[in-house]
A and B are shown apart, each in its own frame.
Chain A
């Protein structure tokens, strides 16, 4: 048997562009497998020299799916630059930011589950490539597709009502927000005249959790074992009680057995984390310095959050969390494909939280902005849909940004995704006489579970088909498939 090198480029149904390389030796064993992130953005550099108040507006252009997360993480950091800590924001500003954030997480999770992940679950890993897409889902399951679209729309409409537009809107200003919420805006989400109500969103979120429970019941062997491996898990948790927290909390990391590795104030992150680089990827590899590069990396995102939290504050999502925990015998869940399930529980949680806030009259107060004494450093950490998102800015005395560090969720998951790629490559591609397209799709399914955002704000020029090339050990292409 000849040694082979397989390249999957670009990876489909993820946010942005990446590439996978798998090297198979003469004996048919997987030698190496890498997920390469091939985009370079440079935001940390070109934000330097801009006034601090521009950061929430500029950095959200990193992404077209989760700009709200970048906007709010930057806003939390900028608050500190004007001397306002999270607990000193006005209650109205804090609640409006949370409502915006929950709308964002809700729509992003809906997009991922319905548009990107559902074809794999509905049609199976061996379905032909031309069937693995939302059009086929719509053709065969109209109601599911319709609900997916309307759930995403609901979250986007929340964003539009608060930030002015669905993508790249503006709401946060240093020390608060620039606009209150009106009764008319609230009515839009409650009366069901133009879009389904928030109660319908809660009901549909429960339905879709039932869907994944049933799916799991029928496919538990596969879903429990596919791309599963032990890892650490990191997320924010509520400062007081360790509950699931998406906007502001302490950073907590646990290992695969549930032992606590880290529990720190979020702004202390830099004393506990380092970032490694590899020559084959533009994406860095963050790790907890105390545990080193090899043992100190974390998974982040929905599965990690359900592992690190002690409970969920909203009643319906908490019932689902408890059932979810039973699937791993109330121990830490390291089953990668369960991330989809965790994501849907978070959708229900966000829907419940949105209802709570929509019924809160304090959203309509005009107490929007607070002031403090200027500082030269601000750190904002938030749980973005895909995991822990860190923004740090330093300024000079004139308020000009001199240094910026961003650790985005997908960066935390870099090692985890590479692990998943290697695990699936070993499980699926070892000693097979012929490498088929569905086998390669399984590599993508493992990556897709993390919903990686490889920077979707970049617009590609020209056609970008999926190209799979098989090279011999000398680098000569011996086979190529384009779809």
Chain B
């Protein structure tokens, strides 16, 4: 990652995507909860059920965007942190816009392309329950530890 994180999250927006009433779909939100508990600036933590077209205007106001979301498919180390570029990916509904498509909209409408990353955390169960599964909780802890290690010393 090119930008060192500080707890103030200057010019950085972290977006947790998911639904904490659907078991491991709550990974994105749980990650934000953990950041807030750790003292990160909660003003720059955004909880979203899904991304929508108008979020292009929101992300245009930041230099760096980090999306955090649960991932259904198996991941090496059970999480991954990847750079994201604008890309056209179409869904049948505009009520659920993929992050790469949101970057396209941001670029096309506002002529801005924030430095963007996606943190994928592997989940396993998606039923109507409030708690993460044990395996997903472990993955959350691992990914959180790695994320914190990216913070600068003086934060």
Contacts and interface: CB of A to CB of B under 8 A. Distances in A.
A407 interface: no
Interface in B17-72: 19, 22, 49-50, 53-54, 56-57
A130 B89 CA distance: 9
A149 interface: yes
B105 A150 contact: no
Interface residues of B, number: 21
Given A13-B93, A130-B90, A461 B126 contact: yes
Contacts, number: 58
A150 B54 CA distance: 8
B10 interface: no
Interface string A143-168: 00110011011001000000000000
Contacts of A459: 19, 22, 49-50
Interface string A110-153: 00000110000000000000100111001100100110011011
Main secondary structure of the interface of A (DSSP, over half): helix
B77 interface: no
B108 A135 contact: yes
A79 to B, nearest CB: 30
A12 B93 CA distance: 6
A242 interface: no
A10 interface: yes
Nearest to A465: B92
A145 to B, nearest CB: 5
A456 B94 CA distance: 11
A10 B92 CA distance: 8
B88 A64 contact: no
A64 B96 CA distance: 12
Given A152-B54, A153-B57, A145 B109 contact: yes
A10 B95 CA distance: 14
A455 to B, nearest CB: 12
B111 to A, nearest CB: 8
Given A139-B108, A150-B57, A116 B126 contact: no
A58 interface: no
A15 B96 CA distance: 11
Contacts of B90: 130, 133, 135
Nearest to A153: B54
A187 B22 CA distance: 39
Interface in A188-209: none
A466 interface: yes
A145 B53 CA distance: 10
A464 interface: yes
A459 B17 CA distance: 13
B88 to A, nearest CB: 6
Given A130-B90, A153-B57, A135 B95 contact: no
Contacts of B56: 138, 149
A149 B109 CA distance: 10
Contacts of A134: 53, 94, 105
A235 B78 CA distance: 54
B57 A149 contact: yes
Contact of A466 (B50, B92, B109): B92
A201 B50 CA distance: 27
B92 A12 contact: yes
B101 interface: yes
A139 B111 CA distance: 11
A84 to B, nearest CB: 34
Interface in B84-133: 88, 90, 92-95, 101, 104-105, 108-110, 126
Given A13-B94, A116-B94, A464-B92, A142 B109 contact: yes
Greatest chain A CB density within 10 A among B19, B88, B108 is at: B108
B53 A115 contact: yes
A405 to B, nearest CB: 26
Nearest to A10: B92
A196 to B, nearest CB: 12
A64 B56 CA distance: 19
Contact of B95 (A64, A139, A146, A465): A64
Contacts of A152: 54
A339 to B, nearest CB: 19
Nearest to A166: B54
B18 to A, nearest CB: 10
B126 A115 contact: no
A352 B11 CA distance: 36
A146 B92 contact: no
Contacts of B108: 135, 138-139, 142, 145
Contacts of B57: 149-150, 153
Contacts of A156: 54
A245 to B, nearest CB: 29
A15 B95 CA distance: 8
B141 to A, nearest CB: 26
Nearest to A467: B92
Contact of B105 (A12, A135, A465, A466): A135
The 10 closest A-B pairs by CB, nearest first: A138-B108, A139-B108, A12-B92, A149-B54, A115-B94, A138-B109, A145-B109, A138-B105, A146-B109, A149-B57
21 contacts: A12-B92, A13-B93, A13-B94, A130-B90, A133-B94, A134-B105, A135-B88, A135-B90, A135-B101, A138-B56, A138-B105, A139-B104, A145-B105, A145-B108, A146-B110, A149-B109, A150-B57, A459-B19, A459-B22, A459-B49, A466-B92
Given A115-B53, A130-B90, 5 more contacts: A12-B92, A12-B93, A116-B94, A135-B104, A461-B126
Interface of A: 10, 12-13, 15, 64, 115-116, 130, 133-135, 138-139, 142, 145-146, 149-150, 152-153, 156, 456, 459, 461, 464-466
